[in-house]
Amino acid sequence: MIETPPSLTTVPVDLGPKAYPVRIGPGALGLLGEEILARGFRPGVRVLVVTNPDVDGPYGDRACRSLAQAGFRSERLVLEAGEDQKTPATVSRIHQAAYDLQLERGSLIVALGGGVVGDMAGFAAATWLRGIAVVQVPTTLLAMVDAAIGGKTGVNHPGGKNLIGAFHQPSLVLVDPCTLETLPPRELQAGMAEVIKYGVIADPVLFEALEGHGSLAGLGDLGPALLDRILRRSATAKARVVAADEREGSLRAILNYGHTLGHVVETLTGYRRYLHGEAVAIGMVAAGILSRELGLWTAAEEARQRQLIARTGLPLEAPPLEAEAVRECLLRDKKVRDGRVRFVLPTRIGAVELRDDVPLEAALSALMQTTPARS
């Protein structure tokens, strides 16, 4: 039997000389080597594949086989999994592997994993020899629709998340939805928060496609056709924003929808109780309440957003929080300017506004209204 090679769709990220494609399709991982050749890298180039055991087990060999078939000389660095590994010390380990493998300016790092691997490998690539190429091969839904696209790389500082980093665009993003088959269901749900985010901030068609589907709680519920649509439309939304505002001068901040209040929830629960996407879901519910109370969107639209989030199984309610701690946390947000917190607020499904004139007490009240004790 002759096997047909998988066909991939392309979402371009139009950044002039730094432009690159997001290539999406089942079986894409087996085309890794070919896809890198197609981006102009020559056989013989040295490649460092950075991954972790959760991903290396099911996918490491396939990725390296594809690289070898295309004539690349690859080595693998398998790091420990987890957000607590996202530190300068781990990036030093990647630098050491780059040194041992004698990576040169024309060499390449492949990030095979979720957002943690992608952010660290991307940052190591941004800083090795003042910048070598990186290819992102995301294996979580969150990384496929968000982290792998757009060139934000970095690690955490004891004082806060992602405080150390660089903008470094990848040469290619290769998305194989089949890798989601091994992803824990809770991680898939967390990725769905970012998908709903794109619907609310930029893509009413995506929002309606999700609304028109039954349960959205698991991979089996989504099915291959909706999953493909989710990946393409989310990548398109992100690519459009990044192309318009690569370094977050203004527009790119809309990607932080749900993140400001979500960040409060993450911080005040010590980053242990919620996955990032779960906190973003709560943050979007709170931002929806805030927007309605400010008269920016309707109660009906707010209810649609809440119902969609509920159908993914994501949390809707913040845990009980101390008002004073919330105030303090909001004022310490990275994006505070002159004591004003910037909020991304929906004006209808598919459109948002950036506002820095929202009274802190209104934001606090919106977050508190999500909590079970006060709703």
- 3-state secondary structure (DSSP) of residue 152: strand
> Which positions from 153 to 182 touch ligand NAD by CB under 6 A, shown as an x/- string?
--------xx----------------x--x
Least CB distance from residue 75 to ligand NAD, whole Å? Answer: 20
Closer Cβ to ligand NAD, 140 or 291, answer by number: 140
> Which positions from 259 to 278 touch ligand NAD by CB under 6 A, shown as an x/- string?
-----------------x--
Q: Which of 35, 187, 194, 278 is catalytic?
A: 194
> Which positions from 27 to 66 touch ligand NAD by CB under 6 A, shown as an x/- string?
-------------------------x-xx-----------
Instruction: Determine whether 213 is an active site residue.
Output: no
Q: Which residues pair with 337 in a beta bridge?
A: 340
* Using rule CB under 6 A, residue 22 touches ligand GLY: no
**What is the rounded radius of gyration, in angstroms, for the C-alpha atoms of the chain?**
20
Least CB distance from residue 342 to ligand NAD, whole Å? Answer: 18
Q: Which does 252 bind (CB under 5 to 8 A by kind): ligand GLY, ligand NAD, none?
A: ligand GLY
The CA distance from 4 to 10, in Å, is: 18
The amino acid present at 356, given as its one-letter code, is D
Instruction: Determine whether 272 is an active site residue.
Output: no
Pairing status of strand 46-51 against strand 133-138 = unpaired
Picking from 56, 195, 161, the residue whose alpha carbon sits closest to that of residue 113 is 56
The CA distance from 330 to 359, in Å, is: 12
Instruction: Determine whether 327 is an active site residue.
Output: no
Element (H, E) at 92: helix 88-100
Dihedral over alpha carbons 58, 63, 69, 71 (to 10 degrees): -150
Q: Is residue 170 a contact partner of residue 20, using CB atoms and an 8 Å limit?
A: yes
Closer Cβ to ligand GLY, 255 or 330, answer by number: 255
Dihedral over alpha carbons 138, 142, 144, 147 (to 10 degrees): -80
Q: Which of 238, 292, 304, 311 is catalytic?
A: 238
Instruction: Determine whether 86 is an active site residue.
Output: no
Least CB distance from residue 157 to ligand NAD, whole Å? Answer: 12
Structure tokens at 114: 């979720």
* Using rule CB under 6 A, residue 255 touches ligand GLY: yes
Picking from 288, 355, 296, 356, the residue whose alpha carbon sits closest to that of residue 317 is 288
Closer Cβ to ligand GLY, 152 or 292, answer by number: 152
The CA distance from 307 to 139, in Å, is: 27
Structure tokens at 311: 């159908």
Q: Which of 23, 76, 168, 276 is catalytic?
A: 276
Query: Which of 54, 119, 146, 278 lies at the binding interface for ligand GLY (CB under 6 A)?
Result: 146
The CA distance from 372 to 113, in Å, is: 35
Q: What is the layout of strands, in order, in the sheet containing 133-138?
A: 9-13, 20-24, 172-175, 133-138, 108-113, 46-51, 73-78
Q: Which residue has the tokens 């309605």?
A: 292
Q: Which does 179 bind (CB under 5 to 8 A by kind): ligand GLY, ligand NAD, none?
A: ligand NAD
Structure tokens at 188: 């898939």
Closer Cβ to ligand NAD, 182 or 375, answer by number: 182
* Using rule CB under 6 A, residue 233 touches ligand GLY: no
Q: Which of 259, 292, 304, 311 is catalytic?
A: 259
Instruction: Determine whether 162 is an active site residue.
Output: no
Catalytic residue annotation:
130, 152, 194, 238, 248, 252, 256, 259, 263, 276
Residues that bind ligand NAD (CB under 6 A): 52, 54-55, 81, 83, 86, 113-117, 119, 139-140, 142-143, 146-147, 150, 152, 161-162, 179, 182-183, 187, 190, 276
